[in-house]
Amino acid sequence: MAELMDTQTIGSVFAAAAAEHAGRPFLAVPANATRAYAQGGLELSYGEAAVLVEELVAIYRAKGYSAGSRVAMLLENRPEHILHKLALNTIGMCCVPINADARPAEIAYQLDHSEPELILALAAREPQIMHSLALSAHKPPVVIAEMFAESLPSSRRTQVRDQPTPQGPASILYTSGTTGRPKGCVLSHGYEVASGAWYASRGGLANIRAGQERIYNPLPLYHVNSAVVSLFGAIVSGCCQIQSDRFSPERWWPEVAQTGATIVHYLGVVVPMLLAQAAGQHDRKHQVRFGIGAGVEPQLHAVFEERFGFPLIEIWGMTEMVRVLADCRAPRQVGTRAFGTAVPGIEVRVVDEQERDVADGVPGEMLVRHSAQTPRRGAYSGYLKDEAATEAAWRGGWLHTGDVVWRGEDGFLHFADRKKNIIRRSGENIAAAEIEALLVTHPNVKQAAVLAVKDEMREEEVMACVVLKQPQPPEQAGDELFRFCYERLAYYKAPGWVHILDSLPTTGTQKIQKHTIYASDVDPRSLPDVQDLRARKKRNLT
């Protein structure tokens, strides 16, 4: 099914789904009395959503908006995000979702890089956007979503009569780059539709029943998981996406039960948080058939399934290639870090540093492709304005994932580590290089190395090892460096641990050797002069 769906556009696929499933639920929002919207919850049928999408399409077109331009969206996890995305894609316009936790300088970079024609933001986010625009060279008009119909300005571009194509861009999602700034990952219409079709056709324990599933996904809509994989999985199968405003361990079970969720999406960090809650009626007071996600700790996998009564299907995927691999068929590999096997439509190699295939059981980097004839089918279109990085990722005709895995004799692939200089914290991929690049701009920083350290709750945490130009009391320096990062980067990127050192090990060419900063048997967090600043990592600036 996925192979056929990549020849279609988002507008045509949603229109067909709305016609076939008009009375079935499409989008649900759980009740939450503490938030500013839909406090009593919300549910839209496919027919109702289609009417709202067509109204938005008509407004955009009346103001001269047409195929080929981009719209930046700061709409959090609101229903408006999904409705505007479908409308824009129907016209042939491209969406650039913005992370609401990003700092103004980070947003300014995305605006300058993606050059949207328009910014669509919630009223509560207007000060954040205006601050960002003050730092940006590109200054498109801002439209407040709550006043969209009456305040949308006319397009400044010459109207284009072109129709959307399967190859045309539908979204640009910014992913953590390994060498500094985030990269804009361009996803086509065909890619997004086919990724949903692939998700909906995994079968086995992950069987999607057409028109029957209610998919609870509390993950952010600026990520591929919720905004592409599960959303289009729902659309192509006539199912319902349940979109919470964000993950909360206290609200998880009430929302799952209230909305009648049959499938839940999780990250590794979710599992220990749910297990840490007191046992109660909520443990089995649900209709969940299975969970789908990645990163569950092996020792918690069976414990979770036994307590809550449904399987956790471990998968692998990345923004650049969301044809997920899934451990969804018997015999499953519960209690390991297995995520499935290669299947028709995604071939896999495991290679060493010289890109030679390694033997089963030996860790190496995972390379993927669709096939020898069409290696890039089902993958992203490329990195925006960075053809060199795109081609480097595809060298040799294989997409280099940066994930270190090993393959068993049975063909099962097991996650081992990340080759990329990436820190995985609570589902967010954080580029160490981005934080290092900022730290060295501090007037008192001589050298900086950023590492991933284990975190029992969030999988990994950011640790900054810093050499100062001028001596300073370590606690004062740590506080200053934390604040410096916290004010300029999304809160989760700020160092949770800081270690002030006299020197860092380097090569003859002065490249820092991160792997030799600490002995392999040393947990840096346990050292007496390492500062624990994790409690200060709050979403809102303090």
The answer to whether residue 97 scores a pLDDT higher than 90 is: yes
- Domain count along the chain: 2
Per the structure block, which two tokens stand in for 431?
């580029």
| Segment among 223-227, 238-242, 319-323, 338-342 with least mean pLDDT | 319-323
User: Rounded to the nearest 5°, which phi and psi values hold at 121?
Assistant: -135, 155
Write down the pLDDT at residue 114. Answer: 98
Domain boundary among 405, 436, 460: 405
462 shares a domain with 389: no
Q: Give the span between the Cα atoms of 219 and 225, in whole angstroms.
A: 7
429 shares a domain with 382: no
**Mean per-residue pLDDT over the chain, rounded:** 93
The answer to whether residue 36 scores a pLDDT higher than 90 is: no
Q: Please report whether residue 412 resides in a domain.
A: no
137 shares a domain with 83: yes
Write down the pLDDT at residue 508. Answer: 60
Q: Give the span between the Cα atoms of 283 and 295, in whole angstroms.
A: 21
Contact assessment for residue 236 and residue 192, using Cβ atoms and an 8 Å cutoff: no
Domain boundary among 405, 430, 458: 405
386 shares a domain with 501: no
What's 531's domain CATH number? Answer: 3.30.300.30
Listed residue (195, 200, 150, 201) closest to 170, CA to CA: 195
499 shares a domain with 365: no
396 shares a domain with 453: no
DSSP secondary structure letter of residue 227: I
Q: Quick one: pLDDT band at residue 4, thresholds 50, 70, 90?
A: low
Sheet holding 413-418, edge to edge: 347-351, 364-369, 399-407, 413-418
Listed residue (281, 282, 297) closest to 249, CA to CA: 282
- Segment 68-77, tens digit of pLDDT: 999 999 999 9
353 shares a domain with 433: no
251 shares a domain with 169: yes
The answer to whether residue 9 scores a pLDDT higher than 70 is: yes
Listed residue (79, 70, 32) closest to 52, CA to CA: 79
Q: Please report whether residue 541 resides in a domain.
A: no
Single-letter amino acid, residue 271: V
Write down the pLDDT at residue 1. Answer: 59
Q: Please report whether residue 16 resides in a domain.
A: yes
Look up the pTM and report it: 0.87
Name the residue with tokens 């020898």: 372
396 shares a domain with 273: yes
Q: Please report whether residue 391 resides in a domain.
A: yes
392 shares a domain with 436: no
Q: Quick one: pLDDT band at residue 416, thresholds 50, 70, 90?
A: confident
The answer to whether residue 472 scores a pLDDT higher than 90 is: yes
- Segment 204-213, tens digit of pLDDT: 999 999 999 9
Q: Please report whether residue 283 resides in a domain.
A: yes
Domain boundary among 375, 405, 435: 405
Q: Please report whether residue 381 resides in a domain.
A: yes
Q: Please report whether residue 254 resides in a domain.
A: yes
| Residue range of the domain that includes 365 | 2-405
Q: Please report whether residue 415 resides in a domain.
A: no
Task: List all residues 6 or more positions away from 439 whose beta carbon is below 8 Å from its beta carbon.
Answer: 445, 448, 450, 464, 466, 481, 484, 485
What's 64's domain CATH number? Answer: 3.40.50.12780
Q: Give the span between the Cα atoms of 322 and 16, in whole angstroms.
A: 23
CB atoms within 10 A of CB 454: 11
DSSP string, 437-490: HHHTTSTTEEEEEEEEEEETTTEEEEEEEEEESS---HHHHHHHHHHHHHTTS-
Q: Give the span between the Cα atoms of 498 and 496, in whole angstroms.
A: 7
Listed residue (267, 245, 248, 252) closest to 75, CA to CA: 245
Q: H or E stretch including 267? A: strand 263-267
100 shares a domain with 140: yes
Q: Give the span between the Cα atoms of 59 and 301, in whole angstroms.
A: 48
Listed residue (309, 339, 313, 324) closest to 416, CA to CA: 339
247 shares a domain with 201: yes
